[in-house]
Structure 1
Amino acid sequence: MPEGDTVWQTAKRLHGALAGKVLTRSDLRVPKYATADLTGRAVLDVTPRGKHLLTRIEGGLTLHSHLRMDGSWKVYAADQRWSGGPGHQIRVILGNTDRTAVGYRLPVLELLRTTEEDRVVGHLGPDLLGPDWNPELALANLLTDPARPLGEALLDQRNLAGIGNVYKSELCFLLGATPWLPVGDLPADRTAKLPALAKKLLEANRDRPIRATTGLRGQDLFVYGRARRPCLRCRTPIRVADQGDGSRERPTYWCWACQTGPAPAPGSPAAQRFRPRTTG
């Protein structure tokens, strides 16, 4: 699931394949940009910003993409077979003499002036893996609405950028609070360490092929994806429910024994709305 660490890895891979090299192939398969031709221009850099990717190109252009749930960028050698999905799922192709980057199922893809990047990422809060990281500002943003559920506040990229559903669930577990606890009700000592803990988790995983938060061999995550399996601390079965307004699937996992605060009761609409495909 693409979150800040996944996007950071993707940017690093794209930067290594494209930066400093002239494009010999350019194909933007989005109607608005179907006639855009970037061949002959050098890629300057590929920069992650929260969950966004900014590919800066010679001539003051930026290709902005976002992976959301299903998107991905794949990098292939010149003679390598593409394997990221069927051809109709390809949204963009950028290639040079050595490598070809192919964007599959990208829900967001737009070409804009580099000077206009703030239009697409200017609303983001401090980036957990970026040079603009500011823990004091991130915490102040989170506490702007004390009544807001902790999980929703963590997912709001305007507060701090890079957290998705996995880290939301894992952070709440490590803080000992349910994702439905009002952020203002989190004990002061836990509130103070929240930004540093979030940064520590993403930094620890930005170079790992498999995301891990537990430090335990064979058990990568404390609660996420572990519905009905025993909690690694207390052996109580992990619960799962949807958090939000139901407009998108946001499975949220927690241990009702280790985490304090409100939570949907078993059989409630939120718990029924999300039905895990596997129970482990």
Structure 2
Amino acid sequence: MPEGDTVWRAARDLNAALAGSELIRTDFRVPRFATTDLRGRTVEEVVSRGKHLLIRVAPGESESEGWTIHSHLKMEGLWHVYAWGERWRRPAFKARAVLETAACQAVGFELGILRVFPRSGEEEAVGYLGPDLLGPDWDSGEAVRRLASVPERPVGLALLDQRNLAGIGNVYRCELCFLIGVHPLTPVAQVPDLVRLVDLSKRLLEANKARSRRITTGMSSGRDPLWVYNREKRGCLRCGTRVVHELVGDNELELRDLYFCPHCQPRVE
């Protein structure tokens, strides 16, 4: 499931493959940008911003501004880099973007969001996001302030709100609530230590950003890398109590899977 650490790795790999290279062909397979052609321009860098990925391209000879290829993986998206002649590992009809250089092809499959716009459009696209847990501008104090600004909101929903802090997805929000011993529907105002929660969020994503396997238990060699997420049939990894699985969201259109241990995370009435 793509979360901030997954997108960070995608940006790292794309940056290694594309940065400094000239695009010899671009193919955007969404109607709005199907005629956009960035051939002849050089990729400057690829960066992540929370769960968003930004490929920054230099301006053409007669252009005063560079371009940004903005994608969001949502639930199913991913980027692959292929050497020339290498067979794609996903069906071609699932490709949404193809970027070619003399050395490789970068292909974005099943991207939930794909947009191409002048560089000045980045603020509108991602400027609303809170501090990026894996970004150079990380500000823990601002993240705490944003979380605390709506004290009655359940902490499990506040953590998923990318306007508070950018990069946490469903797996991390469940595991974070477990690790601090708080029921995910506890109002933010009743969370004992928001500073600790934010600090732990940062440390977890930093620890996992370079791993192919997401681990929150600290046991890299074990079969069970998570405490409660997706464990409703196996029980809490700490105490064995049956993990509760619910669908929770701000409204019926935003329901997401929620996992918690009723023993380790008792609900406060």
Please, what TM-score do these two structures have when normalized by structure 2?
0.94
CA drift at 1:260 = 2.5
Which residues of 2 match residues 23-42 of structure 1 at below 5 A?
A: 23-42=23-42
AA partner of residue 211 (structure 1): R
AA partner of residue 181 (structure 2): G
* CA offset digits 1:136-183 (Å, max 9, x no partner): 000010000110000110000000000000000000000101110101
- 2:82 equivalent to 1:76: yes
5+ residue gaps in structure 1? Answer: 264-280
CA drift at 1:79 = 1.7
Which residues of 2 match residues 96-107 of structure 1 at below 5 A?
A: 96-107=101-112
- Which residue pairs with 1:221 in the alignment? 226
- 2:124 equivalent to 1:88: no
Which residues of 2 match residues 47-196 of structure 1 at below 5 A?
A: 47-59=47-59, 60-84=66-90, 86-187=91-192, 190-196=193-199
What secondary structure sits across from 1:252 in the alignment?
strand
CA drift at 1:134 = 0.4
- Which residue pairs with 1:21 in the alignment? 21
CA drift at 1:192 = 2.3
Cα RMSD, aligned residues only: 1.2
Please, what TM-score do these two structures have when normalized by structure 1?
0.90
AA partner of residue 183 (structure 1): V
CA drift at 1:235 = 1.3
What secondary structure sits across from 1:180 in the alignment?
coil
Identity %: 50
- Which residue pairs with 2:204 in the alignment? 201
Which segments of structure 1 move beyond 4 Å, counting only runs of 4 or more?
none
Cα pair 2:228 2:235 within 8 Å, conserved: no
5+ residue gaps in structure 2? Answer: 60-65
Cα pair 1:63 1:112 within 8 Å, conserved: yes
- Once the two structures are overlaid, the 10-residue window that deviates more, 230-239 or 173-182, is 230-239
1:115–1:158 Cα change, 3 Å: same
AA partner of residue 87 (structure 1): A
- Which residue pairs with 2:213 in the alignment? 210
Q: 2: CA distance between counterparts of 1:262 and 1:73?
A: 42
What secondary structure sits across from 1:155 in the alignment?
coil
What secondary structure sits across from 2:98 in the alignment?
strand
Cα pair 1:228 1:239 within 8 Å, conserved: no
CA drift at 1:249 = 4.4
CA drift at 1:248 = 3.8
Q: 2: CA distance between counterparts of 1:76 and 1:146?
A: 47
1:256 to 234, 258, 262: 262
Question: How many residues are aligned here?
Answer: 260
AA partner of residue 132 (structure 1): D
Q: 2: CA distance between counterparts of 1:258 and 1:134?
A: 30
